[in-house]
Amino acid sequence: MKTKIKLQLCLSLFLSLGLVNADPDPLLDYCIADTSNPHYYLSNGPPCLNQDLASSSHFSTSALSKAGNTSTNKFGFSVILTTNQILPGHHTQGLSMARIDINPNGLVPPHSHPRASEVTTCLKGEILVGFVDTSNKMYTQRLRPGESFVFPKGLIHFLYNVDQKGPSMAISGLSSENPGTQVASLATFTTTPSMPSIVLEKAFKIDAQEVIRISNHLQG
């Protein structure tokens, strides 16, 4: 009986370790994402394009060369992320890149990437960055052009443009081709269906009217 229990524990451990791995290593030199057919079967990523059809253009993109639209949200920022649509050659390579533009006094609000760690390099302006670890310890740093900062995988972090007059810009590298993003405030107050009001009231020590006010403000 003890041997059986030990075997079950070992099996559970191996399965758990498999769940926390990064993107799997590719079995080919490259796997260009075949995005030509929008009805391809659902899998852990799109299928590979026939390598005989590969070209240099599949491995390059100019998507990060121009600033994004920072007026699409109330926080004053834009993120352009390399995806399989705009950079099909990065499929299965376990990485992606992002361009981050932030208005004067703008903020990339507290958020996390459940599938990736991130290193951010400031290229323009001055950006206050920081993350919180699981013991609620805060790490912050002001980045000037050429300076970089690492955000550990899955931890909540932010970027704030401290310049009140000029925009800032940064480039980030992420350790997954699909890092995912959860903005803490939006994931809490703008879910579909809504998170139970009583949960939010107790969690944030606010009343029902305040829950409605915050939700409307974030959605509006």
pLDDT higher at 27 or 167: 167
**Structural domains of the chain, with CATH:** 51-180 (2.60.120.10), 190-219 (no CATH)
pLDDT of residue 47: 87
| Rounded distance between C-alpha atoms, residue 90 and residue 82, angstroms | 8
Q: What is the mean pLDDT of residues 171-188?
A: 96
Residue 187 reports pLDDT greater than 60: yes
- Per DSSP, the residues of 63-82 read TTSS---TTSSTT-EEEEE-
pLDDT confidence tier of residue 43, bands split at 50, 70 and 90: low
pLDDT confidence tier of residue 17, bands split at 50, 70 and 90: very low
Percentage of residues in the chain having pLDDT higher than 90: 77
- Cβ pair 32, 52 in contact under 8 A: no
| Rounded distance between C-alpha atoms, residue 52 and residue 195, angstroms | 50
pLDDT of residue 68: 96
Q: Is 141 helix (H, G, I), strand (E, B) or coil?
A: strand
| Rounded distance between C-alpha atoms, residue 2 and residue 45, angstroms | 41
| Rounded distance between C-alpha atoms, residue 10 and residue 167, angstroms | 53
pLDDT confidence tier of residue 34, bands split at 50, 70 and 90: confident
Instruction: Give pLDDT tens digits for 96-111.
Output: 999 999 999 999 999 9
Q: What is the mean pLDDT of residues 77-98?
A: 95
